[in-house]
């Protein structure tokens, strides 16, 4: 089966258009490492969000930690704003089982209780194991379960989708 990957730059623009009416002066964007941060940085700039960008590394919140062990490249989470009472748009590159989003929400609540959390993803590939749904989606794409789809960034900052082993 040959899978044609969509242009992530075009999908990013699509997300900007979807998100623009929902961004207020109180809205915060939080990207999930690593691809979600790349996307969140781009969305944050394009939308002119006033609240500083937040980033999460959910390595310690993964429910498969006992199977996969500690990820060798843990990056620190950084939430440079008050979470309590804030409207947050959580940003990830690919939505699959829902477990990453569950971990991210769990960590966000360690910082406070947000007024709301919405989810924006570049790709929704289906295959949910948890009842998680994105409110903002660049594209839906069927990907075989043995393929891992990730968002990467070239040195010039341009985004690219690729399959990862």
Q: Which domain holds residue 27?
A: 8-63+78-164
Which CATH number covers residue 111?
Answer: 3.40.50.2020
Res. 116: pLDDT tops 80: yes
Q: How confident is the model at residue 75, as a pLDDT?
A: 76
Question: Confidence band (pLDDT; 50, 70, 90) for 54?
Answer: very high
State how far the Cα of 97 lies from the Cα of 20, in Å rounded to an integer: 27
- Asked, for residue 68, whether it belongs to a domain, the answer is no
Question: Confidence band (pLDDT; 50, 70, 90) for 152?
Answer: very high
Phi, psi values for residue 148, rounded to 5°: -110, 120
- Six-digit token string for 52: 């500083």
- Asked, for residue 147, whether it belongs to a domain, the answer is yes
- Six-digit token string for 21: 């009416």
- Asked, for residue 72, whether it belongs to a domain, the answer is no
Count the domains in the chain. 1
- Asked, for residue 17, whether it belongs to a domain, the answer is yes
Average pLDDT for 76-102? 96
Residue by residue, DSSP assigns 26-81 as: TEEEEEETTHHHHHHHHHHHHHT-SSPPEEE--GGG-TTHHHH---TT----B--S
Res. 157: pLDDT tops 90: yes
- Asked, for residue 82, whether it belongs to a domain, the answer is yes
């Amino acid at each position: 089966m040959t899978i044609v990957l969509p242009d992530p730059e075009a999908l990013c623009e699509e997300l900007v258009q979807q998100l623009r009416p929902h961004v207020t002066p109180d809205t915060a964007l939080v990207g999930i490492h690593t691809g979600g941060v790349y996307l969140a940085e781009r969305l944050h700039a394009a939308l002119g969000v006033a609240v500083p960008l937040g980033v999460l590394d959910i390595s310690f919140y993964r429910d498969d930690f006992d199977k996969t062990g500690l990820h060798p490249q843990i990056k620190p989470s950084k939430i440079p704003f008050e979470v309590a009472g804030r409207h947050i748009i959580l940003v990830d590159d690919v939505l699959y089982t829902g477990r990453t989003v569950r971990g991210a929400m769990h960590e966000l609540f360690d910082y406070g209780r947000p007024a709301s959390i919405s989810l924006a993803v570049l790709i929704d590939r289906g295959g949910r194991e948890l009842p998680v749904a994105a409110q903002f989606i660049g594209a839906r794409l069927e990907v075989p379960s043995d393929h891992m789809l990730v968002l990467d960034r070239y040195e010039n900052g341009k985004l690219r989708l690729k399959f990862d082993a």
